Each structure stands twice: as C-alpha cells, then as structure tokens.
Amino acid sequence: MSEAIGPIHVSLAGRGDRTTRIYGELKDAILDGRLRPGERLPPTRELAQRLEVARNTVAAAYERLTAEGFLTARVGAGTFVGPLSQKRRRSAPAGGDVRARPIWASVKPMTAQPPGTYDFRVGLPDWRLFPLETWRRLVAGELRAAVLRSADYRDPMGHPALRAAIARYIGISRSVRASAGDVLVTHGAQQGLDLISRVLIEPGACVAVEEPGYPPARQLFQSHGASVVGVPVDAEGLDVSAIPRAAKLVYVTPSHQFPTGTPMTLSRRTALLEWAQRRGGVIIEDDYDSEFRYSDRPLEPLQSLDRAGRVIYVGSFSKTMLPMLRVGFVIAPGSLQPALHAAKQLADWRGDLVTQGALARFIDDGLLSRHIRKATRVYAARHELITTTLAKDFAPFLDVVPSVAGLHLCAYVRPDAYYEPVAWIEPLARYSLETVHTGLVIGFGVIQLDQITPGLRRLARAFTR
C-alpha cells in the first residue's frame, strides 16, 4: 500500500466556494505532476483539520475528482491519484518586464554533450577506474563521525583535515608552496574562479584569456562585467607580448593548455611572471589535469616560480577522481586570502564536509596517488593508440599538436584538407573567442581501448583532399 504523501498546500483564496477551491487546487496538482498516479491522499478528516474547514467540504471535492477520474477510492485503503491520461506543464510566471543585466544576453552556457557513436567526449575521466567501494567505505565512516561532531568544521575555508591534505599533496606532486592555512576548498575549480572574480574584477575591467581557451572561465569573467580579450596561443603557450595593455588579470592553463595541450615553456612562464610584476597584474593558474602525464618531466607551476605574490593557483579533483564530487581548491597570495575567505562565506558558508573528510583520508592514506598511477597507465595506452593512429593514417589531413598530459588531444585541419564535421568529435572552433580555429579536440578519458580504432576509422571517412 502506498504511503500517504506529505502535507498538501491548498490555497482557499480566490473565486468560488471552498469545495471548488480545494477541487481546483488538487486537480492542478494532479495535472502538472506534483501529485503522481498511485499516491495516496490524506484522509478527508485530516485534510479538513489542516485547512480548518468542514470534513464534508473536503469530501465533496474528493467525490468530484473521483467522478472525473482524477482520484480512485479503495474501501479500507484510502483515496489515490488515478492513472493520468492528460498532463500539463507547470512553470514559473513569465516575468513580464523583469530582465537580467544585459551582459547575460551574451553569456551562453555550454550544454553537456551526450555520448555519440564513439565516446570521444572531452573533459571526462573514466568512472570505471575509480575505486567506488573504497570511496563508499570512507564516506560511510565520515558520515558516522560527522553526526557526532555536527557543530564542528564551520570554517568556510573547508574541512581542516582536507586543507592540510591538499597542501601536502600538491606540495609533493606539484611543488606548490602552500600551508593548510593557505588552502581554500571550493565546489570545483569553477567556484574558485567565481570567488576570484568577485574579489578582483571591477565592471569593465580587461581580463586576458587564452585563445583558443576554456569557455566556462571566460563566460564567468564576462558575467562579472569584465571585458574579455583573447590572447593567441602558439607552440610555446600564451604569447605574453600580445597581452593588452589594459589587462591586469590573465587566466592561463600552463601545464596542459586547454584545449591545444601545449605546455607553456619556461621562458614564457618567466616572461608572464615578469609581466605581472611590471604591470601590477595577477595571474590565475588553472592546473586542471596535470596529474596524468605520459612522458617528459613536468615544468614548475607558475605558483612555485612566483616570488612576488602575483599568482593564484586553482585546482580540482574532478578529472583525477569524479566530476560529481565537486571539490576544488584555491591557493592565493596572503594579501587576497581575507577577501576570498569572506567571499566564500557569503557564497555558501561551507561545503559538503562529509565528502571533504572522506577525501582527506583518501589523500592521506595514499589512495589518491594509487588511483592516479593506475588510471595513468590506462590513459597512456589510449593516448598512445590515438597519437600513433593519427600520425600514420591522418598525416595528409591533420597536424597533431604534441601533448604529453591530460585526457584529450588537439589537431588542426590542414589547409588543403576538407573535413565534414562528425557530431561525436568536438570542433576546435567551439573553444575560440575571436579567431575561428579549424581543428578537432579528441577526448580519450571515457572511450574504451577497443573502441578507439573503429572510431578513428569512422572519423577518417569524414576527410578528403
């Protein structure tokens, strides 16, 4: 037998007697899906007491709905929502003349791409590689502990154990200079960028981003009123000499440029740091998937080379673990930390402390490092197969951008080649702000090894000379 649903809000305001109002409110709830087929309504006596009306008033409304087929009465069981043959959409009021700020007309969110014939989607790790049973055990243990200390860990900067674990982990794996007190835990890298924007961006300020680059970041800056300008990326990374004079904030992905995959050379990193010190600028360094490396020693992060306190380091566990966890972090110079702390408190006060506590143990017990080593072996095999196949079979059509890290590859379509776009391969133009780049971005985080060869064979049919 179905349990009775929770309290039903029935408005008695408006035209008609009370029976008519109750009938209309319940009918609307059934038609728009708030009351679903098979759900049991409260007894007439209970609903009458709650509405402070006579029981016969509610009973009359129930009888009318039953006669019209919206409800069914079962002797000894109760009154239930009947099978629905018609349905209508419930929506919020249209809003009339209420409008968002003009900037939002130009900020178009990127929609999630469903998997295609072959799953070459960009930016997704393989959930099948993640130790879900181990993670469930850690979450369950942290949940039990959280019940006993529900009043603790109110700091909006994040769970103390996770802040300490992140500081140790990135200090060892990436040479980032930070203590636990420098770590601000966020809901992914995107919230970190939002907090930074709240603290640093004045309306009309010029923000420089990579071209091509990461659309959600530049759209976020635009939403805060920034004038966003694309700076070209070449074989050495961001062209520092092309940064506009008006810019005081630069967003870069130097370890594995998104989406080309080009790492920023040491000379360019040095030039960018010199630019920041000379111009009084700030650099946002997004180190989004540098954990997965297949060859070459990684270059030092900008943050570890910075001696003037001009770099804000942003990281995330969405690529190394699971996007659904929504855990990231920001390492900012000490002069910015009080403002970021306050911005985080205003935005959401604190995050999911159960997840944060479990992640702290996952890092401290060496489980994250173990997972990354295991996943890197799998991704390396996919990376090798794709790069080898592109070099052998696509040489007349594509110039592949060398890449030794991450979960995707980029290739430019050669000027003398023609490409008929394939729905399940992302075009490079999707990441362009000003210049249309003709190329492909091929993700390999999700696709299985045995699907890569047939997928690339199918892609080859889209090219002609």
Is 59 within 8 Å of 65 (Cβ atoms)? no
Position 108 in a domain: no
Is 138 within 8 Å of 361 (Cβ atoms)? yes
Is 244 within 8 Å of 205 (Cβ atoms)? no
- Spatial distance between the Cα atoms of 364 and 138, rounded to a whole number of angstroms: 12
Is the domain of 59 the same as that of 169? no
Q: Give me the residues paired with residue 410 across strands.
A: 441
Is the domain of 323 the same as that of 384? no
Burial of 79 (0-12, 13-18, 19+ CB in 10 A): buried
- Measured from the Cβ of residue 211, the count of other Cβ atoms closer than 10 Å reads 20
Per DSSP bridges, beta strands 328-331 and 311-316 are antiparallel
- Spatial distance between the Cα atoms of 386 and 22, rounded to a whole number of angstroms: 64
Position 190 in a domain: yes
Q: 369, 392, 426 — which closes off a domain?
A: 369
CATH of the domain at 392: 3.90.1150.10
Q: 324, 346, 369 — which closes off a domain?
A: 369
pLDDT given for residue 1 in this prediction: 46
Q: Tell me the C-alpha to C-alpha distance, in Å, between residue 188 and each of 200, 222, 282, 327.
A: 19, 19, 21, 4
Q: What angle do CA 385, 376, 215 make, to 5 degrees?
A: 85
Position 180 in a domain: yes
Q: What is the DSSP secondary structure assignment for residue 235, as one 8-state letter?
A: T
Residues contacting residue 188 through CB under 8 Å, at least 6 positions apart: 316, 318, 323, 326, 327, 328
Position 323 in a domain: yes
- Spatial distance between the Cα atoms of 169 and 362, rounded to a whole number of angstroms: 11
Position 28 in a domain: yes
Is the domain of 361 the same as that of 375? no
- Spatial distance between the Cα atoms of 442 and 386, rounded to a whole number of angstroms: 9
Is the domain of 364 the same as that of 422? no
Is the domain of 423 the same as that of 325? no
Residue 257, token pair as written in the block: 């440029």
CATH of the domain at 358: 3.40.640.10
Domain count, the chain: 3
CATH of the domain at 38: 1.10.10.10
Q: What is the pTM of this model?
A: 0.86
User: 299 lies in which domain range?
Assistant: 130-369
Instruction: Print pLDDT tens along the chain (465 aa).
Output: 455 566 778 888 877 789 999 999 999 899 888 898 999 999 999 999 999 999 999 999 999 999 999 999 988 889 999 987 666 766 677 767 788 888 888 777 667 677 878 999 998 999 999 999 999 999 999 887 766 565 555 678 999 999 999 999 999 999 999 999 999 999 999 999 999 999 999 999 999 999 999 999 999 999 999 999 999 999 999 999 999 999 999 999 999 999 999 999 999 999 999 999 999 999 999 998 888 988 877 788 999 999 999 999 999 998 899 888 889 999 999 999 999 999 999 988 777 889 999 999 999 999 999 999 999 999 999 999 999 999 999 999 999 999 889 999 999 999 999 999 998 999 999 999 877 779 999 999 999 999 999 999 999 999 987
Is the domain of 360 the same as that of 399? no
